[in-house]
Each structure stands twice: as structure tokens, then as C-alpha cells.
A and B are shown apart, each in its own frame.
Chain A
Amino acid sequence: MTDSSGYRIGIDVGGTFTDVVLISNETGDVSVAKVLNRHDDRAETVVSGIERLLGEADVEPADIDWISHGTTITTNAVIERKGARTALITNKGFRDILEIGRFARPAELIYRVHEDKPTPLVPRYLRLGVSCRVDRHGDVVSELDELELAQAIAAIREEGVESVAVCFLFSFLNPSHEERVRESLSAALPDLDIVLSSEILREFREFPRTATTVFAAYVAPVLRTYISDLVGRLADSDITCPLYIFQSNGGVAQPDIVMRNPALTLLSGPAGAVVGAAQLCGQAGYRDLITMDIGGTSLDVCLIRNSVAEATTTREIDMFPVGIPMLDVHTIGAGGGSIVRIDDVGRVKVGPDSMGASPGPACYGLGGEQATLTDINLLMGLLDPTTFANGEVPLDRARAEAVVASEVAGPLGVDVNAAAIGVYAVATNQIAEAIRTVTVERGSDPRDYALVAFGGGGPLHAAAVARELGVGQIIVPRHPGLFSARGIATADFNHDYTQSVVRPIAEVSADEVNAAFTALEGQAANDLDAEDVPTDRRALAPALDLRYLGQTTEITVPLTGAVAVGFDDVVGQFHELHERLYTYGVPDEPVELVNVRLRAVGGVDKPPLRPAKGAGKAPEPIGQRPVLLPDVEGVQPVPIYRRDQLAPGARLGGPAIIEEASSTMLVLADMEVTIDRFENMIITLPPIGQSS
């Protein structure tokens, strides 16, 4: 574990930049480096960032005792189809499960009859069937055909396959055939990556299990090569402390453990910021949060309850399911670069298409000729053209005005100001709908949460979104740009273990469930031992996935007490949760136990968060500029403040614009801003009903 005199490093690889943070374990002081990605050499990017930081902070390599690394390398390999040459072994007669999927078309294709589903990661000639079969009780019905297996191995050798996914029906109940395949394959081809579905996802439903296993196999060689490359480069720079990998469940793990299931890193990109928000806001006393992260192309929202981000097992990449537990980050295509256009019959469309960073919004002056949300925000006066992105991207207001006039205002026959205000309202509604999806549709009331806004665009829209949702408080943390890297640096170890049962709970004995938990606890103990987590920092969270017998979607119910005494408590909680989520519970209906789940958390010491020393000086605006406010007619002079001039205890009322290096906060008229002792900006809305 960490030494109080040492330092830890968090690494967050984004689309364009890699953020590296260095945190003192003793003081909690943070320094940061932003490095432009070198796409040909990711490890080099990371190491150069670390070296730069160490030099600037005058810290010796030997004083680094911890590195946590979030990476998008696996997600990108999937999206760009640049993973390993992968084969899939299935039961004979079932090789096309990956291609057929759910058989129904995804919603996007129902009317778009000229479009295709994304291509499977394994082409059909590398999907190989081998005769063998286990039934629904886990009993072997027919033995593995060794001759067919030998033929499959020969094909794998001949085709130069690098990685193999193995997924047999009911292997989550009896993995013996999958294990036998691995034994033969690794004997024949020792360098091959081999991934078994029974070790990736011990749950029923063959399509999500197959797809997840294929993802894991497809990215395994990519991730392994990268990690070993990085470890080598770090050693060259005399950095030999442990390296941990950040996963999409919001925790870190040792590379060996992640390599057992490399799919754990998929979609981990937005999770770092969620973990950072939960931690930093938690330390400041806010535990129930909705995170709202708006970047250049997308909006990510996530619900955090009592400092724990909500999890899900139903996320997808390219319409293929990734069935492992991940933070439930809901993403929609609404960001600064989202294109605003008017269709042939005068309907307003915002996103999901984006101009990205290059050529980007028209106001960047890099050749973008479509109106984007950033152009709208500039026209409203929310952005300062000279200080945007720290002054690195000067904005051209005339271009924004011309493009909004020709693409939006002209077709609608309104003036540019009306167009800007209107588009802002449409974007506000889209963001609010995304938040309703993670709250109202999952049985939560957004008014019970504080909204945490970050990313370049989050604070620009937060006030209007909060008002629409009836949220009472907005938090804009200090240095939101570092959230993700910081969250990764201080994330706990986190491992999830599952065993499918799929039987009515009345037919399952407490002994059987306890035995399942004992087995899962054994796996957890092995992993946490390997990570040197002290026993007193280990927390095991057992849970049961339950549903009414006959339903298909499970509700995960945490187990608070021992099950030795029976299931009455947990089943009672299930009925209540069902009512909260779906408006009704049916206490006299039989309940089915689908999965036994165990989450193992290894607590990591958190660097202290030191209250800032502050003078309670009354804040002075640095000036004012004309702004189109979403709720006021006409252009108003609005005072402008610099965030770094606002000390703890400072208070000011809206309307106001508060600028910092990476983002701009819009405060509306009836809202009040205070800076708390950790330098978080807290915006309080008037109680509902008193709003002007």
C-alpha cells in the first residue's frame, strides 16, 4: 500500500490528451500534466507526461509508490476494429450466435432498411463449432469431440489466429468442456490468448456471454502488449512501483487480474470522472449526486447514491452487449461540437452528429461550416472569445453569427438571438431527458440529488437543466478537468464475482447460497491477497439478483444480514424495490434467485483533502458583457468573475458568469453562489414555487 511520504500517480487517457496527476500522499497536493497523445506510441505519451511532472514537482522516481491507469486503448481497438485476429469456438451447430444476436433489429434499423448492423469481431470462417453439450442442470449430455477440436486447432494455427474466445452453452454451470479446450489449445499453441466464457461471465443467456467473451479475447493481446511495454518504459525511467489498471466498474485491479478479463477495461473512459465526483463531493459532504459531463461530442450522466455510483450489466458497444458490471453511465450525442440544423420542414435538430474538435464549430475558424452548440453559446455571450480553452482557441464571433444566421435563423425566419435562445432550450431539454432516464425511469426523483457539472460544457448548461428538473443545488468542483485522473489515482480496488442459479428461491436452501458465497469469497480473497490489501481494508458486499418467477429482468438486492436464517428479509426488500422501480410489487408472487453476486472492495488510503485557506473578501467582477440569458428578454449586461479570485466563503448572486481555464459557469438571476472550504462552487436554486 501507499507510504505517507510518497506520491501516487493517476493517468487518464482521453481522445486527444492524456492527463497525468501527481498527488502527495501526505499533503494531498495535486499537480498535473496534459500531454498530447502520440497515437503511434501510447506508452511513450504516458511516460513523458510522468517525467515532465516529476521534473516540475521535483519528485524522485523512487518516491512514486502507486500508479493507477485508466486507458481507452481497448475501447478504441474495438471501435476501430484494430484488435487481435480472433477465433471463436462454440458448440457445433451454434457458431452464428455472435452474428444473429437477438435476431430482432436494433431500433435504429427498423425504418433504415438500407443500413447494416455492425460487423461481428470474429468473421464467420473463424467461428468454429466443436461437438459437445451440457444441459440446463449442468450435466454433460455429450462429451467433447476430440477430433473436431483437433481440426479447430489446426484451422486456428493455419489462419494465424492470436486470440481465441470459447463459449459453450451452459458453461456457467459446468465449465469442464471449455477448460478442456483451453488445455488442448495452449498445449498446441502456447502463445495464444485463450478466454473462456465461464471465467468472463458466469451468467445465463448465450448471446451476451458470447459477445462479452469475444470482446475480452479481441482486446487481450492489445492490452497485454501495451501493459508490458509501459512497465518496461517505466522501469527504464526508474519507476518500479506497482501499476494498477482502472476498470469500468469504477475500481482498480492488478494487471494480472485484469488480463483474466480484459473486457473489464471497456467503456472505462467516463467512469474515472464519476469516481472522482463521488470522492471529492463526498469529502465535501455531498453524497447523492447526478453527474453531468459535457465534452465536445457527448454528454455522460450517472447517478451516485450515498457516494456509490449506480452499476449496470446492460451496456453495449456497437450494438454488441458487454455483460459485466459497469458504472451506469448514460451517454447521448450532445456536446459542444454537436451540429444544429433545420430540416426540410422546419424542424430543429441538435446532434447526435458532431463536428468534433477538427474542423470543429464554425467559430474555431478551422473550416467548420455547420452551426454547433459552441457557436450558439458564443452568440449568447456565455463564452469569452479571447479566453476560451485558456486562450488557446480564439473564437470568431462573426463566423458563428454568419453560420447560425444561414443554417438556423434564416430557415426559421427568426433573428439570430431568437435562434440562439431557442437552440439553447432544445439542448437543455435533451440533457434533462437524459437525466430523467437515469433517475425518474429508475425510480429516483432528481430533486433529491445535487447536480455535479463538469467538462467544458457542463457548467454552461447546468443552471437551466437544474431549473427544469427542480434540482436544488449545483456543484461545480474545483479543477473539474482533473476529476477523471484524480478519481483514477485514488480509486479503490474493486472486483465483481457472480454465479448463476436461476431457480425459484423457495427451492434453494440457505446452505447452498452460503456455499456459493463461500466460493466467491475465496476468489475475492485470492485477488485481494495478490493486491496486498490488508484484511481490515476489505469490504465484501454480497447481493442476490432476484425477479418474480417468470420475469426476465433482475433487480440486484444487497444482502445486509446473513442468509443462514432464510431469505425473508431480502425477498421483502425485493418487493419494495420492485414497487419503487416499476410502481407495483406483488408480495404473494413466487420469487426466483437468478444470480449470487459478490463485490469485493479493497479500500485505498485517500490523500487528505485540505480545506483552502481563504479570505472572505467580497468578490469583485472583472468586468461585464452583454449576455442573452435563457430566461430574460433581450441582451442584459452580466457581471463576469474569475473563478480563481473566488475564495472560500465568497458569495455572489446571479445573474453572473464565472470563468475558469477549462469551463464557464452560467448562473441565472435567482440563484446564489457560495464557495465552500474545499473551493467547490455551490449554486443554490430558490425553492420550487418561489422561482421567478
Chain B
Amino acid sequence: MSVDAFTLAVVHSSLIAIARDMKIMTMRTAYTQLWKEQGDLSCCLMDGDGEIIAQDPNGFPIHVTTMPLQLQGVVEILGRENLCPGDVLATNDPFIGGTHLPDVLIARPLFYRGEIYAFACNRGHWADIGGMGPGSYSPATSDIHQEGIFIPPVKLFEAGKPNPGVLEMIMSNIRNRSIGFGDLRSQYASCETAERRLDALIERYGFDTLKAAMAEIIVRSEQMTRASIAEFPDGDYHARDCLDGDGRTEDKIWVDVKVTIRGSDIVVDLGDSSDQATGGMNCSYSAAASAVQYAIKSITDPENPPNAGSYKPITVKTRPGSLVDAQKPSSMVGFGDVCYRVLDATMTALAGAIGDRAIASGSGSTGTAVVAGRQRRSNGDHYFTTIELSSGAYGGRATRDGMNAIRYGPGNAGHIPIEADEIENPLFFEAYEIVPDTGGAGRYRGGNGFVRAFRVMSDRAQICLCADRHETPPPGLFGGEPGATSRYVLNPGTNNEQVLASKTPYIDLDANTLVRVQSAGGGGYGDPLERDPASIADDVKNGYISEEKAVAAYGYKKAARL
């Protein structure tokens, strides 16, 4: 059956609305700061084969494009024939195609006359999944079992009935079960709502039309992307970039990207990347492919909603056993930072082909700093966990400076409002602002990074860092200068000052320790000497760059000031 263009438009926008409302509902009812304030979860509708049809416009690319392989793995392991209406499936297995253990995928198979025609999916970053320390974020984990509880594909609900043994097994292995339960509830409730909305859609347009539209959505996006790729010159392009260390050693580990463009196909070969890390700085094939897919989507078809078709022209090759295709039992804690490097190197390699569409590297890290421990309250001791995301700035672009202090790349978690953080956690903030001169100079400069500085008031707290761009700065593009590196310090400017490595496993903090986390800045774009003098003067006036830097990097003369 074919579907006419108008019905296609109608069904497509309804499917996106359903996915969007799933995320809104989960955020409104969630307990963890990571979701309710920072929005670290994503929702999507997939077809019966586990291909993306519609994703929530606010969804994170890295969450969504890692779902298909993981969901397909779940179906294979549990057996399609064993799934039934009312089931709620779950897993966090990165080896079949996920991210890291804290990201838990919840999926509800949707049936029509006995056939699974879709899955409603919700992937959220749980604030704790057990493992070596609260927040489950130690970069020094040498195998997946240290990371937390490994949830193989399971049924949380079977035919609408909860599976108490499985639920209890999971909740007993995480540190704050009441948060865990609240979050899980909000995840599966959103899938239930999606099912009702889809039932109504079938009633309105008919099942065959819905199915035909779902197939057509993929076909059209693929055509769109192919047309865009076909405009790029055929050729072979190469770039490599590195991470500061693998979580246990300080040796640089490399992501190597070879891009081949032929007609409307792009092959991205990561095969010459370093071997898998002994620590947590690894990612799955699926996560590496997701970072590549994000880079290419943003330069080929940024205007249209993404789905499986957007990625069909892209082939990603890896070498099993490398850091971008890590094998059991490697830890994947730091997958996010590895993916940033895949994104940066892919964009840099593509720059030779795409010219003005390329952007210089951004701050290049998730900047994850987990502060966790116990705090005394009137009704006893409580665990607290707060995940500070201390990274964010765009690289320079062909027509604009990089944005300051904002997330870029395939993730999109936000910050906890300071007042919310202080109300819930024993923290006291001393600074949260943009750091001048951290963006790389260029015709269009890199965005400046920012600092968050806070005292930890608990006497039983720990900090753990899983971040990067501490030693190797984000490179500039087409003659732009690199951005400043990131910096993590305890008690700066005192006798107790301690500079931390970007990968720091859980260490104890004395009460009242001042923690200062500062992100890298974005790389610059183009020759700094070509920068518009008015923009330089404007930056100096606003304190985005200092006068000294203006003179040194741009040949700025004070007399020229407006």
C-alpha cells in the first residue's frame, strides 16, 4: 500500500508529537535532577524492526541513535515470539548496542492484531546504577562489572503485570531506590501514554496507512540526505584526535577517522583508532556510529526531523577491540567523551569536503564531575548525588563565533539551577560564569567556556571526574587557534590547592572543600588577523576577551576601539 503525500505529512507530525509528549511527561514526573532539571533522557518511536521513525525534537542524538541496535538485540535475545501486549522491556547492555550502564532503555512493544508494529522507547540516564561509587561514574573501572548492575534484556512487566523479582533485583543494586522507583515509573508511564495515542492514530487513519507512512518516512529522509551528500566532492579525507588518557593510564588514546565520499554514500572508517582502553574510556560500535551520524546529519539535513533514513547513506566501520568498538568486559563509563572525539575528528576530516558547513571543534567533553556522598538531615542520613556538567562551548563557524557556555554535540543535558542544587544537596556555589579568553582566536572565535565553583559542605562526600580536553586543546579550523584546555582544581589559591586529572576516580573530600571546574573553550575558525575590528572591540568591551589577548592574538590596537 502506498500513502499519499498529505496523509504522510499528517501521520509524521502526529508521531513526532507523541514522542515529544513522552519526554515532557517523563521530565515532569521524574525524581532525579538529571532528568527533571537537566533533561538527560530521550524518547522515540521505532517500527516493528527496531528502526527509528520519530524522535522527540528535544531528544539527544546519542541516546536515540544508539537505541536501534540495542532494541534489536533485546528482541533477538528475548525472542520476538515471546513478546506480548503489555510487556515493558528493559536493558542497559552496551555490548548489544547501548551507551553505558547508567543509560537504561525502556521499551514497550506495540501490537496490532498479533503483530508488533512499533516500539515506544525511553532511554534515561539513571543518576546511579550501583558500582564503584555513587553516581556510577568512575573512569578507572577496569571492567563493566565495576560500572554497576548489568541489566540484560528483561521484562520489567509481563502482559501488564510487574515482575517483582526483576524490579527488586535492580533496585537492590542501586544507591537510592526511591529515586530509582520514581524515575522508572515515569519512564514506563510515558510508554503507556504513547501506546494510547498510537491506538487513536490507527483508529483515525487505519493500520495499513500508518504502516505505509512509517516506511515512507524513512525512504524520504534517506533521499534527502543522499541528495545533500551528492553535492560534496568525492574524495578521501582523514583526521585524528586524541583523549587525555584511558581512565587508568595517562597515555593518549587516539580516534582515527577516514572518510570516503563516493556519490551519495559516505563511509567512515574508525579502524585505525587505538586499542580498547584498560579503564572506562571506551564506547560501543553503536555509540561511535551515533556520533558520526550526528556530525553528518547536522551538515546534510539540519532542518528536517531525523529518523533511520537520515543514516542509511552512512556506513561506519570499526575494528572490534578498539576503543570505539570495545568488547566484553570493557567498561564504557566514559563513552560520552569518546563520542565527542569521534564527532570532532569526523567534522575535521569532513571539513575538506564541506567547506563552509564545517565547524571548529567545541569544548569536546561531557565535563562530568560527580559529587556524591551522604548528608545529615533531620530525619537521618541521605545519599545525595549531583552530576555537574562542566563543559560547553561551540567552536567557531563560517559566519558566526562559537556560542559561549552552551552544550554542543550529540548530548544535550543542561545544568541544575544553583538554587535547586543548594536546596537538595550540601553544596554552596561561589561562581558560575563565562571565562574570558578561553575560546580560540579566529576570524570567528571559539566560544568561551565557563566555570562552576562550589563548596561541598558534607564531611562524607567524594568527587569523581570523567572528562577530557585537559591536555590536548580543541583544535581550530582553517587557521583558527585552539581553545583553552579544561581545568579542575580543589581549593584553588590556597595551600591545599590540588589540580585534578580529567579522569579522577572517587576521592574523599574534606568538608568545605572548594571545587572549581572549568571547561575548555571552542576552537577558532579562520585566520584571527581577518577578524572584524568592530567584533574585537565589542569582545573587549564585554569582557569576552581581555585587552591583552586582543593585542596578542588579533593585533588589536586600542586606538582602533570604537
Which chain A residues have a beta carbon within 8 Å of chain B's beta carbons? 93-97, 99-100, 102-105, 107-108, 110-114, 116-117, 123-125, 135-136, 141, 169-170, 204-207, 342-350, 412, 414, 421-423, 425-426, 429-430, 433, 436-437, 440-441, 468, 502, 507, 548, 550-553, 578, 581-584, 586, 589
Best-surrounded residue of A102, A125, A552, A589 (most CB of chain B within 10 A)? A552
Complex contact A96–B434 (CB within 8 A)? yes
Q: How far is the CA of A414 from the CA of B221 in the complex (A)?
A: 21
Could you list 18 further interchain pairs (A-B, Cβ under 8 angstroms) beyond the known A113-B408, A136-B423?
A: A96-B433, A100-B434, A104-B415, A110-B57, A113-B299, A114-B359, A204-B419, A204-B423, A205-B419, A207-B417, A347-B5, A347-B12, A426-B10, A429-B14, A437-B17, A551-B182, A552-B28, A582-B186
Q: How far is the CA of A348 from the CA of B13 in the complex (A)?
A: 11
23 A-B contact pairs sorted by A residue (CB < 8 Å):
A93-B431, A95-B433, A96-B432, A96-B433, A100-B415, A100-B433, A100-B450, A107-B58, A111-B298, A111-B306, A206-B419, A342-B5, A345-B223, A346-B220, A349-B9, A422-B6, A441-B21, A550-B32, A551-B182, A552-B36, A553-B28, A553-B29, A586-B182
Q: Answer whether residue B523 sits at the interface, using C-beta atoms and an 8 A cutoff.
A: no
Complex contact B432–A100 (CB within 8 A)? yes
Complex contact A100–B10 (CB within 8 A)? no
Q: How far is the CA of A578 from the CA of B394 in the complex (A)?
A: 39
Decide yes or no: A100 and B419 within 8 Å by CB, A422-B5, A553-B29 being known contacts: no
Complex contact B36–A551 (CB within 8 A)? yes
Complex contact B30–A113 (CB within 8 A)? no
Complex contact A124–B543 (CB within 8 A)? yes
Chain A positions within 8 Å of B541 at CB level: 125
Complex contact B179–A96 (CB within 8 A)? no
Decide yes or no: A345 and B227 within 8 Å by CB, A93-B453, A206-B417, A422-B4 being known contacts: yes
Taking the closest CB of chain A, its distance from the CB of B438, in whole angstroms, is 13
Least CB separation from B219: chain A residue = A345
Taking the closest CB of chain B, its distance from the CB of A334, in whole angstroms, is 11
Q: How far is the CA of A511 from the CA of B34 in the complex (A)?
A: 34
Decide yes or no: A136 and B542 within 8 Å by CB, A347-B5, A348-B8 being known contacts: no
Total CB contacts across the A-B interface at under 8 A: 215
Return the contact of A107 from the options B57, B298, B430 (Cβ within 8 A).
Answer: B57
Q: Answer whether residue B204 sits at the interface, using C-beta atoms and an 8 A cutoff.
A: yes
Decide yes or no: A169 and B406 within 8 Å by CB, A96-B432, A103-B389, A345-B220 being known contacts: no
Chain A positions within 8 Å of B204 at CB level: 468
Complex contact B37–A552 (CB within 8 A)? yes
Taking the closest CB of chain B, its distance from the CB of A383, in whole angstroms, is 20
Q: How far is the CA of A107 from the CA of B417 in the complex (A)?
A: 19
Chain A positions within 8 Å of B178 at CB level: 550, 589
Q: Answer whether residue B193 sits at the interface, using C-beta atoms and an 8 A cutoff.
A: yes
Decide yes or no: A100 and B542 within 8 Å by CB, A551-B31, A583-B189 being known contacts: no
Chain B positions within 8 Å of A584 at CB level: 185, 189
Taking the closest CB of chain A, its distance from the CB of B287, in whole angstroms, is 17
Q: Answer whether residue B327 sits at the interface, using C-beta atoms and an 8 A cutoff.
A: no
Least CB separation from B30: chain A residue = A551
Chain A positions within 8 Å of B148 at CB level: none
Complex contact B25–A552 (CB within 8 A)? no
Return the contact of A552 from the options B30, B378, B392, B398 (Cβ within 8 A).
Answer: B30
Complex contact A103–B298 (CB within 8 A)? no
Q: Answer whether residue B414 sits at the interface, using C-beta atoms and an 8 A cutoff.
A: yes
Q: How far is the CA of A131 from the CA of B530 in the complex (A)?
A: 39
Q: How far is the CA of A373 from the CA of B61 in the complex (A)?
A: 33
Which 7 pairs between the two chains have the least Cβ-Cβ distance? A422-B6, A104-B414, A552-B36, A93-B431, A550-B31, A124-B542, A553-B28
Q: How far is the CA of A502 from the CA of B505 in the complex (A)?
A: 34
Taking the closest CB of chain A, its distance from the CB of B312, in whole angstroms, is 13
Return the contact of B406 from the options A100, A107, A348, A423 (Cβ within 8 A).
Answer: A100
Q: Answer whether residue B38 sits at the interface, using C-beta atoms and an 8 A cutoff.
A: yes
Chain B positions within 8 Å of A141 at CB level: 428
Q: Answer whether residue B467 sits at the interface, using C-beta atoms and an 8 A cutoff.
A: no
Q: How far is the CA of A104 from the CA of B24 in the complex (A)?
A: 15
Tell me the residues in window 408-455 of chain B with beta carbons closer than 8 Å to chain A beta carbons. Answer: 408, 412-415, 417-420, 422-423, 428-434, 450, 453
Best-surrounded residue of B221, B453, B542 (most CB of chain A within 10 A)? B542
Complex contact A104–B38 (CB within 8 A)? yes
Best-surrounded residue of B5, B39, B399, B413 (most CB of chain A within 10 A)? B5
Decide yes or no: A103 and B414 within 8 Å by CB, A550-B182, A582-B189, A584-B189 being known contacts: yes
Q: Answer whether residue B397 sits at the interface, using C-beta atoms and an 8 A cutoff.
A: yes
Q: How far is the CA of A90 from the CA of B303 in the complex (A)?
A: 37
Q: How far is the CA of A113 from the CA of B398 in the complex (A)?
A: 11
Complex contact A111–B182 (CB within 8 A)? no
Q: How far is the CA of A581 from the CA of B24 in the complex (A)?
A: 12
Decide yes or no: A117 and B406 within 8 Å by CB, A346-B5, A552-B37 being known contacts: yes
Interface string of B357-385 (1 = CB under 8 A from A): 10100000000000000000010000000
Chain A positions within 8 Å of B543 at CB level: 124-125
Least CB separation from B310: chain A residue = A111
Q: How far is the CA of A102 from the CA of B412 in the complex (A)?
A: 10
Return the contact of A112 from the options B60, B61, B224, B302 (Cβ within 8 A).
Answer: B302
Q: Answer whether residue B349 sits at the interface, using C-beta atoms and an 8 A cutoff.
A: no
Q: How far is the CA of A342 from the CA of B6 in the complex (A)?
A: 10
Q: How far is the CA of A412 from the CA of B197 in the complex (A)?
A: 29
Interface string of B12-51 (1 = CB under 8 A from A): 1110010001001101111111001111000000000000
Q: How far is the CA of A460 from the CA of B17 in the complex (A)?
A: 24
Q: How far is the CA of A551 from the CA of B294 in the complex (A)?
A: 31
Chain B positions within 8 Å of A169 at CB level: 418-419, 429
Q: Answer whether residue B163 sits at the interface, using C-beta atoms and an 8 A cutoff.
A: no
Complex contact A507–B419 (CB within 8 A)? no
Complex contact A582–B29 (CB within 8 A)? yes
Q: Answer whether residue B192 sits at the interface, using C-beta atoms and an 8 A cutoff.
A: yes
Q: Answer whether residue B503 sits at the interface, using C-beta atoms and an 8 A cutoff.
A: no
Q: Answer whether residue B400 sits at the interface, using C-beta atoms and an 8 A cutoff.
A: yes
Least CB separation from B178: chain A residue = A550
Least CB separation from A506: chain B residue = B379
Chain A positions within 8 Å of B419 at CB level: 136, 169-170, 204-206
Q: How far is the CA of A480 from the CA of B538 in the complex (A)?
A: 50
Decide yes or no: A103 and B392 within 8 Å by CB, A425-B7, A441-B21 being known contacts: yes
Complex contact A104–B430 (CB within 8 A)? no
Decide yes or no: A348 and B400 within 8 Å by CB, A104-B414, A206-B419, A582-B28 being known contacts: no
Least CB separation from B453: chain A residue = A93
Complex contact B450–A96 (CB within 8 A)? yes
Return the contact of B302 from the options A100, A113, A429 (Cβ within 8 A).
Answer: A113
Q: How far is the CA of A502 from the CA of B420 in the complex (A)?
A: 10
Q: How far is the CA of A97 from the CA of B418 in the complex (A)?
A: 10
Complex contact A116–B420 (CB within 8 A)? no
Chain A positions within 8 Å of B469 at CB level: none
Complex contact B13–A441 (CB within 8 A)? no
Interface string of B85-106 (1 = CB under 8 A from A): 0000000000000000000000
Q: How far is the CA of A287 from the CA of B400 in the complex (A)?
A: 51
Complex contact A93–B189 (CB within 8 A)? no
Complex contact A114–B6 (CB within 8 A)? no
Q: Answer whether residue B207 sits at the interface, using C-beta atoms and an 8 A cutoff.
A: no
Taking the closest CB of chain A, its distance from the CB of B303, in whole angstroms, is 7
Complex contact B24–A441 (CB within 8 A)? yes
Q: How far is the CA of A105 from the CA of B6 in the complex (A)?
A: 31
Chain A positions within 8 Å of B413 at CB level: 104
Complex contact A348–B36 (CB within 8 A)? no
Complex contact A93–B400 (CB within 8 A)? no
Complex contact A114–B5 (CB within 8 A)? no
Chain B positions within 8 Å of A124 at CB level: 434, 542-544
Complex contact B400–A94 (CB within 8 A)? no
Best-surrounded residue of A107, A111, A582 (most CB of chain B within 10 A)? A111
Q: How far is the CA of A548 from the CA of B182 in the complex (A)?
A: 9
Return the contact of A348 from the options B5, B31, B185, B357 (Cβ within 8 A).
Answer: B5
Chain B positions within 8 Å of A440 at CB level: 197
Taking the closest CB of chain A, its distance from the CB of B456, in whole angstroms, is 14
Q: How far is the CA of A111 from the CA of B227 in the complex (A)?
A: 18
Decide yes or no: A433 and B17 within 8 Å by CB, A124-B542, A204-B417, A346-B5 being known contacts: yes
